[in-house]
Structure 1
Amino acid sequence: MNEFKGRSDFCGHEEAVDEERKLLTNFLARKELDVVIWQDKFMRLIGPIFCHFLFGDPVASEIINVYMRIMQKQSFEHGFEIYCMDTIVQDEVVTKLQEFGKRRMVHRNDYGAFLAKMTSFTMGKLQELSENVFRRCRYIIFPMNDRWHWFLLVYKRDEGMFKLWNSMHSLFAVGTTRVYTKFLAGAICHLSGFDIVSEPVLREPCRQQGDPRLWCLYMHLVGVSSP
């Protein structure tokens, strides 16, 4: 990990302008480079994520993925089955939905064309969400991001619905989870013919971090950039 984490000394970094960084990021994120660069027991790096390490950007999403994989592995070993979706799937889907249209909605006849724009990794993970997964696993967890804050969208098999755990409530996060669950329901039906209930998304009570505006102000005052 030390070979990759927070790298900012790669050749030419000192002279790299924003446009050059953008070109490198786009190059690494190309579908042809959507391959595993490095992996171990709990973690793997692919092209789109590797660029974050090159530029020293936060690696919070991969840290979350590590915890998700550990939790999923332990749950399988003890018969309390949990399925965890990789963070990059939510990020890619939400980003492409925002580019797709103002309402961030995909109509039933458009799913084929929309899914064709996904990277092979995201498509593979979405195809894993079969009827068997929804019937076998007690919880299906989708870590999501609201700019710099992470929260959890969870499908509970026993109740047959999605629930939201967010320690810093925001209407944007609620809206994003509703948009995402509608997309999931349509995508899963398109891919496997299995129907899931996407509404309503219910907020579960959990301990709150405080007013997000105050936290953002604090970060600004101390000069800390958002992850």
Structure 2
Amino acid sequence: MNQLKQIHTQMILTGLILDGFSVSRLIAFCAISESGCLAHCKRILENTDSPNIYSWNLAIRGYSESSKLEQTILLYKIMLRNGETKPDNYTFPFVLKACAQLAFVQLGFEILGHVLKLGFDSNIYIYNAVLHMLVSCGEVELAGNLFDESCLRDLVSWNTVINGYVRSGRGNEALRVFGEMQEANVMPDEVTMIGVVSSCAN
């Protein structure tokens, strides 16, 4: 971090700090490197004129993978208030992950509204993040309904719903979904089988 701060100072002195790509590299180091510092990442972001979505996403990701999950939501709100940058398909999985871990289901629904408004409802990564958020917040029935009504599925989707039913003590529902998975010729993995065995135990 000491070396990064020296580079940051040089970038300010030379005017390179005005280059969006260069700033995003500073933010990347601070946000996702083991040697980084999220507080410094946030300072860089706050002092950058019109940071690009890549920089915002790096910072949001960094906080979503830290113990300071509330900051993920705060950064997302700051970005929206800023108005110059719109979230993209990379933003939402990180924000929804934070909602899931914090059990902020109401906020998760609001973010789902943003997803629909911006037309990202057919993105499989966002769809899986929504399923995970619902299951993590105890809205297993809602997650199951969403899954049943959607044709947008991959192995992660199946596993999320199966294990969501298992964790809520609904082994029969988990086995039903596993049966549908076999009919759809989707190859299970270790996560699936752990869920199936657990559902039998239930």
Question: Do these two structures clear the TM 0.5 threshold for a shared fold by scoring above it?
Answer: no
Higher strand share: 1
TM-score by length of 2: 0.31
By relative contact order (CA 8 Å, sep 6+), the higher-ranking structure is: 1
Higher helix share: 2
Question: Which protein has the larger Cα radius of gyration, Structure 1 or Structure 2?
Answer: 2
